[in-house]
A and B are shown apart, each in its own frame.
Chain A
Amino acid sequence: MTNVVTTDGNPVDSYLRVDRMPHIWCAGCGIGAAVGCFIRAIARAGLNPDKIALVSGIGCSGRAAGYVRVDSFHTTHGRALPFATGLKMGNPELNVVVFSGDGDLAAIGGNHLIHSARRNIDMTVICINNFNYGMTGGQLGPTTPLEARSSTSPYGNFDPPFNLPHVVAACGATYVARWTVMHLRQLERSIAEALVKPGFSFIEVITPCPTLYARMNKLGQGVDVLHSYQQRCIVQNGADPREVEIGLSGPIVVGKFVDMSRPTFGDHYQKILHKAQKKR
């Protein structure tokens, strides 16, 4: 039998809240492509969507939780990670995914990011990085490259950014990767890997923001930004996370940087439970 895909639907419709379409994202934005990779990765990894809990914070990327048809939580700004920690420790059978933006996860939620990685909570974090705050109109964020224009850095950014893979790797994340939304296959495969890997997995997804960051920095339309990724990106699996900083121009190193094992927070906790109950 031939599988016929009609124009009435999409093979991933069953994973989407189609009654909420159209989504809010701008033309040329990459967040939707990253959501597509995420839901295809669920299928690729062979996971039961009923057991996936998706948590987002606030911002453009934070809206992802509202469009994916799994148990999904749109929480407060920066707080997706501790909310997700409660879900995971409350029911370890859940496959917990945090899908949010760079400002949400690394600025207002930065403290939770480093501590979630330190604890090695078994969850997957998909961090959309579009180098600015999109929802509020293109202000500088913790990932805005030096000299980049934003609505709050009109003379060019003088506030040095985070190199996110380095931050989370230094804090103990057991899986760290970075792709752009031009690397759809690699991104999907990477998310599928992360979803089944125990421990704190962090995938940074470099994404065009044609409406704000690209316009203010004269990078062209969304498609022009994708072309620039083609020219700028260097795939380097196993690259030292310390050396993958992203500038306003110049190379963007992508790939899988960290893939290691150490006991998760849940593993440690199981031992404590055993100890406490034996004592009692």
Chain B
Amino acid sequence: MSTTEDGILQGEFFVTGDEACAEGAIAAGCRFFAGYPITPATEIAETMSRRLPEVGGVYIQMEDELASMNAVLGASWAGVKAMTSTSGPGFSLMMENFGLGVMLETPCVVVNIQRAGPSTGLPTLVGQGDMMQARWGSHGQYEVIALVPSSPQEIFDLTITAFNLSEKYRIPVLVLSDEVVGHMSEKVVMRRAGPEELVARRRPTKPPGQYWPYEPDGDLVPPMAIAGEGYRFHVTGLTHDERGYPAMTAAAQDRLVRRLVDKIRVNRNDIIQLDEMGTEDAEVVVCAYGITSRVARRAVQQARHQGIRAGLLRLITVWPFPEERIRGLAAQAKAFVVPEINYGQMVFEVERCAGGRAKTVLVPHMGGGVHHPQSILQAIREAVQ
């Protein structure tokens, strides 16, 4: 293990997922964090409060999660890569200004270390009940990008990816982890993310006076000016035109919302990451994400030993949802088995995309612990009968 001259960690470390998340952010060039303590995400804030001053960044503990989300947006418009982290109740409070981030097209990263809800729920214990809130939690029509890590190593790597996607598509990107991944300690290989690996937001090519903040390029993403450079731009959470000016018409709404949604939809193949094991010939596909995918892997291996052609589709990107891949697998497999630590969320997406061609079976867990592999194996066995 070692620290480079500018304070970025390199080498092998035995750390929790929360710490790995913070270090991934620093490796990605994050230099601003605003947050509010909440179990089980507090260790991210604690790590940032220690590490950001070391690398010349800013850590602020805000008065609540509403303020945290807004401070992150403000810092991003000042030109700094910025992040916040939270869990269930704080995630609910962030939803208001997550929507502002979507509307202003502001790059930033929001980490949710999921615990079991609703309400205060089980603060110290795992849940995966915020999957749909992540997708639909702020009002109005929009698309999100959400990445789900299943290990401390992966939360390190995906936090870097999250920053890259946020800068590339000018959108707040979610790292949607869970309490078990956040609190487990494993070996994490940390590295400096080189300039070739890091994506920076596209800068204006037009001079002040000719630049408009929402005039998109061909991929529907507009170049972004930052405050203090002389562009004297205006941005608003109201429906707006290319100039950033409020435009209170159905036509302006159509033009803006279509672009906000389509910039993610048309680029989905660039965004979506999946991990598959044994799906080539699978008659049963277990579709899982986060900590549950690690339990599912065991169940799939056991099923294979018992002669069942089972496969694992691990969702690394949950939003945008990998519709094409599910459709493809639905044509080949008899059934999908979807274990998740909730009473049915992503299973409905799988069912929608399966379109009746393969049956879809939910293996729910209400939270507070992870599945036993046996419960998933049982569902696999029933699915092939």
Q: Write the residues of chain A forming the contact surface with B, with a CB cutoff of 8 angstroms.
A: 17, 19-20, 49-51, 53, 55, 65-66, 69-76, 78-79, 81-91, 93-94, 111-112, 115, 269, 272-273, 275-277, 279-280
Report the bound CA distance from A153 to B42 in whole Å: 43
The listed residue with most A CB atoms (<10 A of its CB), out of B62, B73, B82, B234, is: B234
The chain A residue with its CB closest to the CB of B62 is A82
C-alpha gap A9/B283 in the complex (Å): 75
What are 5 A-B pairs with beta-carbon distances under 8 A? Answer: A75-B237, A76-B237, A85-B60, A85-B62, A277-B53
B77 at the interface (CB under 8 A from A): yes
Q: Lowest 3 CB-CB distances: which A-B pairs, in order?
A: A86-B74, A90-B78, A276-B53
Residues B227 and A91 in contact, CB atoms below 8 Å apart: yes
Measured in the bound complex, the distance between the Cα atoms of B244 and A69 in whole Å is 12
For B64, give the chain A residue with the smallest CB separation: A111
- What residues of B have a CB within 8 angstroms of the CB of A276 in the complex? 50, 53-54
- Which residues of chain B from 22 to 79 have a CB within 8 Å of any chain A CB? 32, 34, 50, 53-54, 56, 58, 60, 62-64, 66-68, 70-79
Query: What DSSP secondary structure best describes chain B's contact surface?
Result: mixed
Q: Is the CB of A87 within 8 A of B75?
A: yes
Residues of B near A84 (CB, < 8 A) are: 74
Bound form: Cα–Cα A53–B232 in Å: 9
Q: Is the CB of A74 within 8 A of B70?
A: no
Known: A50-B232, A79-B97, A82-B66. A90 touches B75 (CB 8 A): yes
A66–B228 touching, CB < 8 Å: no
Q: Which residues of A contact B227 (CB under 8 A)?
A: 53, 71, 87, 91, 94
* Interface residue from B54, B58, B235 paired with A89 (Cβ < 8 Å): B58
- Closest Cβ–Cβ distance, residue A266 to chain B (whole Å): 9
Complex CA gap A272/B62 in Å reads 17
Using known A-B contacts A94-B228, A115-B63, A277-B53, determine if residue A86 contacts B245 with beta carbons closer than 8 Å: no
B2, CB-defined interface residue at 8 Å: no
Contact A76 B236 (CB under 8 A): no
A279 cross-chain contacts in B, Cβ below 8 A:
54
CA distance in complex: A13, B245 (Å): 18
A89 and B78 CA atoms in complex are apart in Å by 8
Chain A residues with CB below 8 A from B56, complex form: 273, 277
List B residues 327-357 near A (Cβ within 8 Å).
Answer: none
Q: Output the least CB separation between A6 and chain B (Å).
A: 22
Q: B288 at interface (Cβ–Cβ under 8 A)? A: no
Q: How many angstroms from the CA of A90 to the CA of B78 in the assembled complex?
A: 5
Query: B residues within 8 A CB of A85?
Result: 34, 60, 62, 67, 70-71, 74
Q: Is the CB of B58 within 8 A of A269?
A: yes
> In whole angstroms, how far apart are the Cα atoms of A82 and B66 in the complex?
8
Main secondary structure of the interface of A (DSSP, over half): helix
A83 vs B70: C-alpha distance in the bound complex, in angstroms? 5
Q: Which residue of A lies closest to B234 (CB)?
A: A72
State whether the Cβ of B230 lies closer than 8 Å to any Cβ in chain A. Answer: yes
Chain A residues lying within 8 Å of B64, measured Cβ to Cβ, are 111
- Give Cα A138 to B365, complex, Å: 49
Q: How far is the CB of A205 from the nearest CB of chain B, in Å?
A: 22
Interface check B14, CB cutoff 8 A: no
Tell me which residues across on chain B come within 8 A of A86, comparing CB atoms.
Answer: 32, 34, 70-78, 82
Q: Is the CB of B76 within 8 A of A82?
A: no
Interface residues of B (CB under 8 A from A): 3, 7, 32, 34, 50, 53-54, 56, 58, 60, 62-64, 66-68, 70-80, 82, 96-97, 100, 104, 225-238, 245-246
Across the interface, which residues of A come within 8 angstroms of B71, CB to CB?
A: 82-83, 85-86, 89
- Contact of A90 with B77 in the complex, beta carbons under 8 Å: yes
Separation in Å of the B75 CB from the closest CB of chain A?
4
Contact of A70 among B67, B68, B232 (CB under 8 A): B232
Identity of the chain B residue whose Cβ is nearest the Cβ of A113 in the assembled complex? B63
Bound-state Cα–Cα, A269 to B56, Å: 10
Is A112 touching B67 in the complex (CB atoms < 8 A)? yes
Question: Does B54 contact A90, Cβ atoms closer than 8 Å?
Answer: no
Q: Is the CB–CB distance between A74 and B54 below 8 Å?
A: no
**Residues from chain B with Cβ under 8 Å of A53 in the complex:** 77-78, 227-228
Residues of B within 8 A of A87 (CB): 74-75, 77-78, 227
* Bound CA span A6–B237, Å: 36
Given A85-B60, A85-B74, A91-B226, 10 extra CB contacts under 8 A: A17-B245, A50-B230, A79-B70, A82-B68, A83-B73, A90-B75, A93-B228, A111-B63, A115-B67, A280-B7
A86-B82, A280-B7 known; A66 vs B234 contact (CB < 8 Å): yes
Q: In the complex, how many angstroms separate the beta carbon of B141 from the nearest chain A beta carbon?
A: 17
Q: Are A73 and B53 in contact (CB under 8 A)?
A: no
Please judge, given known A-B contacts A273-B56, A277-B56, whether A73 and B77 are in contact too, CB under 8 Å.
yes
Give min CB distance, B8 to chain A, whole Å: 11
* Given known A-B contacts A53-B227, A87-B78, A276-B54, A66 and B245 have beta carbons under 8 A apart: yes
B232 and A76 contacting across the interface, CB-CB below 8 Å? no
CB-based nearest A residue for B60: A89
Residues in A with CB closer than 8 Å to B234 are 17, 65-66, 71-74
A147 vs B62: C-alpha distance when bound (angstroms): 36
Q: How far is the CA of A94 from the CA of B226 in the complex (A)?
A: 11
| Chain A nearest CB, measured from B345 CB (Å) | 27
Select A91's contact among B73, B97, B225, B228, beta carbons within 8 Å: B228
CA distance in complex: A217, B148 (Å):
56
B9 to chain A, nearest CB (A): 12
A277 to B53, CA, bound (A): 7
Q: Are A66 and B246 in contact (CB under 8 A)?
A: yes
Which of A55, A71, A83, A112 sits near B233, CB closer than 8 Å?
A71
